């Protein structure tokens, strides 16, 4: 039998260990006193959701929506509009995602630096809306689809948008539509999958304690390839966004490169996800697919899409907007941090006082599913957006629809992305019809893949396509 002193010592060790663990948990999981008055989601279920690989949209609807329904759109409007009080939060150095993306770009910069980035990027985007490039890529995609049959659409959409961002933004042909093993694309996909370890996302300090040197080497190699594209573009200018940006003498090579990475990531993942959602909802609602097809045939006939003839496709545009609402590709925005003590006031007069340096994230998915703003929010109903005036402004409150964010910091490529989707969808419904296969994993609802980067992108979505005969009418 152990002596009494040894037993007491063991008990003290256990008690001290338990006290230390309780102290750490309290520091980690209890909000500061100045924020204790705010409603909050329990931390442990949230962490468990990440560790078990629960997809973003399901996590939000299960854990966050009860709180979102208490919220007010006015707060989102105010934070988005006041970029002086609510600048973008400085991203943590630990996360490897920021090693890839960088911080000197139009998304993450603030103040005069952001104004400079915004001016250069917007000027480049306004120089050319590359509808003809989108048309050419759509024809390449259709050749790969051959006569249709059962095809993995989310993969095809990703390959289309990769080539779209490559050709129109960088003047570079990744050739991913025809070649599924393009080295650049393969390396990018591997890097993003490696970065997305939930344990390192939730506890970014692990990147310092247990550095992933192999992944860091691959990230740096990928960054070097972006730099190589930039160097070649300086010598061989073209009719693309990067060429136009290079005309500005004030931006450094690092700033150009960081913006390239942002455009590459934002320009294909999210657009491909939106196109997959659109194809899914048209497969589930053949009557909407037929309605869009009839509109496109009336507006375009056999002509290729142009800005002018696509103006006569308001229902197609409404379907795009509704798909971006129902399955928002980017679930929440880059955090803002209060530059000084701030007070937020809801439309109902509820006041929230926040100290300086408080991080605030606007959750787009929660806003898009709030039944106070969107009746039957889970339903795919494009007619929500159909009551428009001659400027194509929807009758719904525009500030409630926020897939591209709101205010001065909204996505500068919004128009670019909407026309890319509109061009492809017009051509797709005119030349093809489609449905889900009988054994589809998506038959009971759209299934997104896991992403620790706040993305909701359909995954492994097989679709059965049939190429329509020229001049074929609706059944």
On whether the CB atoms of residues 336 and 405 are closer than 8 A, the answer is no
On whether the CB atoms of residues 403 and 76 are closer than 8 A, the answer is no
Q: Which residues are annotated as a binding site?
A: 411
Q: Which residues are annotated as a binding site for heme?
A: 411
């Amino acid at each position: 039998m152990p002596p009494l002193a040894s037993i007491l010592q063991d008990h003290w060790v256990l008690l001290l260990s338990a006290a230390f663990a309780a102290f750490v948990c309290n520091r980690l999981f209890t909000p500061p006193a100045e924020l204790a008055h705010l409603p909050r989601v329990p931390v442990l279920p949230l962490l468990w959701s990440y560790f078990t690989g629960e997809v973003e949209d399901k996590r939000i609807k299960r854990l966050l929506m009860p709180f979102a329904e208490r919220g007010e759109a006015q707060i989102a409007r105010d934070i988005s509009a006041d970029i002086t009080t609510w600048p973008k939060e400085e991203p943590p150095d630990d996360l490897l995602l920021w090693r890839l993306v960088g911080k000197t770009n139009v998304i993450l910069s603030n103040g005069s630096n952001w104004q400079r980035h915004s001016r250069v990027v917007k000027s480049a985007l306004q120089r050319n809306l590359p509808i003809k490039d989108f048309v050419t890529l759509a024809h390449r995609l259709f050749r790969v689809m051959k006569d249709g049959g059962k095809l993995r659409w989310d993969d095809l959409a990703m390959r289309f948008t990769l080539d779209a961002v490559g050709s129109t933004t960088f003047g570079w042909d990744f050739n991913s539509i025809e070649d599924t093993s393009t080295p650049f694309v393969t390396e990018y996909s591997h890097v993003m999958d490696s970065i997305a370890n939930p344990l390192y996302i939730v506890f970014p300090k692990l990147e310092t304690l247990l550095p992933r040197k192999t992944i860091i080497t691959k990230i740096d190699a990928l960054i070097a390839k972006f730099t190589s594209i930039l160097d070649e573009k300086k010598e061989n200018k073209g009719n693309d966004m990067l060429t136009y940006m290079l005309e500005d003498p004030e931006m450094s090579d690092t700033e150009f490169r960081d913006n390239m990475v942002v455009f590459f990531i934002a320009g294909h993942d999210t657009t491909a996800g939106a196109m997959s959602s659109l194809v899914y909802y048209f497969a589930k609602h053949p009557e909407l697919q037929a309605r869009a097809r009839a509109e496109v045939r009336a507006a375009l006939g056999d002509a290729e899409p142009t800005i002018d003839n696509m103006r006569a496709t308001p229902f197609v545009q409404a379907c795009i907007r509704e798909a971006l609402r129902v399955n928002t590709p980017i679930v929440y925005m880059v955090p803002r941090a209060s530059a000084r003590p701030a007070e937020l006031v809801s439309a109902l007069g509820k006041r929230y006082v926040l100290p300086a340096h408080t991080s605030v994230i606007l959750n787009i998915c929660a806003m898009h599913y709030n039944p106070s703003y969107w009746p039957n929010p889970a339903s795919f109903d494009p007619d929500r957006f159909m009551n428009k005036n001659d400027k194509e402004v929807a009758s719904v409150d525009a500030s409630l629809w926020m897939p591209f964010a709101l205010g001065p910091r909204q996505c500068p490529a919004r128009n670019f992305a909407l026309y890319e989707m509109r061009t492809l969808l017009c051509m797709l419904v005119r030349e093809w019809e489609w449905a889900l296969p009988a054994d589809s994993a998506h038959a009971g609802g759209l299934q997104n893949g896991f992403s620790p980067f706040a993305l909701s992108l359909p995954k492994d979505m097989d679709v059965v396509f049939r190429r329509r005969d020229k001049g074929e009418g609706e059944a």
